[in-house]
A and B are shown apart, each in its own frame.
Chain A
Amino acid sequence: MLKELTREVKASMGIYESNDDQVYGLLAEFSDPGALMHAAEAVRENGYTHFDTHSPFPIHGMDRAMGLGNSKVGYFTFAGGLTGFAVAYLLQWWTAAVDYPLNISGKPFFAVEPSVPILFELTVLFAAFGAVGGMLALNGLPRPYNPLFYSDRFERATDDGFFLHIAASDPQFDADDTAYMLRDIGALHVELVQDDGTAEV
């Protein structure tokens, strides 16, 4: 149960387990962003869930084509912002009014008004930590090892290549049938990526 959950959480980050034959998945190349988007739609309609598209830039409309909902980074950011606000409030109140009260021209030891700039700055700072940290956590980054890197073609995913990867961990995955399906929806090139360091066409 827990294992299942871990697997699904990791899959949502784009980290898939290879199957018993050390097969990581099938990597298909498409000609352009439009073709990739239609392919993603077709793959989703065929019932696959453990798949992802790889492109040099974000493609508008791909989230919908892949059936992905809204990103959860916002919750992390909001939590970060609240933390920052609380930290700034407690820091200024505790240091100035509790731990070492200093009477300066009879001003109150702690007041909200002069605390506003630091409340604001730390709220923004921690919210930014939340946004970046949340993004990395949800994406499962940093991830130095990725079996997709065994494919030489895949180097073009950050240049001008458009790829669709169906993971072997998908319940529907079958090396032959899935490859056939990918060719059927217009893949220019399909290769089997294995976790033992080989990629074959």
Chain B
Amino acid sequence: MKIKKYQKPIRALLVLIILYGTGLEADGAATDSARTIALEAVSGMQYNVVRFQVKPEETVTLSLTNKDDMAHNLVITEPKAREAVVNAALALGAKGPERDYIPESEQVLWTIPVTYPGEKKAVTFRAPKKEGAYPYVCTYPGHGFLMYGVMYVTKSGDGMPDLAKDTNIPEARRQEQRPARPHPYELSPPYWYRAFLEGTSLASIAVHLPQQLSYCWDMEFCQLRYAWEGGFLDNADLWHGHKNAYAKILGTVFFSDRITKPIRIGEPGAIPRVDYKGYRVRDRYPEFHYTVGDSDVFELIKELPGKRGFIRTIRIPDATEPVWYLFDDASGATYEFSAGVMQKGKVVLTPAEAREFTIQMIKKENP
């Protein structure tokens, strides 16, 4: 095997293994003149630094602190050898674990072995004499195709290409590119997401209506929970995965129901048993189906044209007993029922009235 002239220093210089948290003062101890470049392995299969610059034959200490929850290593390769080295690491097969997934190859220049979450390890080396783009990459199985960066060895201080055009770094790191649309279709209200939302059950739905109105309906308690004006939802954290997240409401909540299960059948005082059944899309709007006690209930919510509020059509086709709807004056909205007798904090409807009635709810301007 041909020994590269700048491979020698690897053997002469120590690979430092420093436990995270105790490494600060030890950093400079490798050699007095070594410049330290601190890399972190971070979540999303990436190094926090995707490129840096050194001078030919400069002594460099490269440290890797693992702030991810997976194990990573770091291998610096000859120019253009990244993929070959990654494939050679995969080809180690059964020998991979015992070799830190680092292949024996003359294309491998310097290495930091497998570094587990919370650990910090480092390597000190003398940079190549020859200018060029020297890739660094994690060769842990499955990581190498995403997790890499590049060390530019250049005499001048401005030898790195324009970040947006740098093909030596992962495409996602060249610029923050977001798809023009979040889905392969236009989103025009009404549309909705089942999502984790705050202030409601985890089994809930957020529906965006025309007129910059949105509401949250709770599938566990089978009730309208709250409504807001303005934008709809920011799902970025929820969609990303790998951490606890709620979809964020992009607007101002103007209505929030504090009453538990406001529809009562037969007996207004007892909190009924409810069961969510599903929803049917009617003229593009979801109509929720649930049971209150043993009765089927259907609920369709639409915007009120020209008003800052909405109209709910509630159907209880097989009602045989009186139906109460309990409401809260401090909910932030006014209530207007199409039928029934108003009592304090509640409306009572006959079974015939309850077969289909509406509630118009409008934002209170001065709550």
Question: Do the two shown chains form a genuine complex with each other?
Answer: no
B contact set with A: CB distance below 8 Å:
none
A contact set with B: CB distance below 8 Å:
none
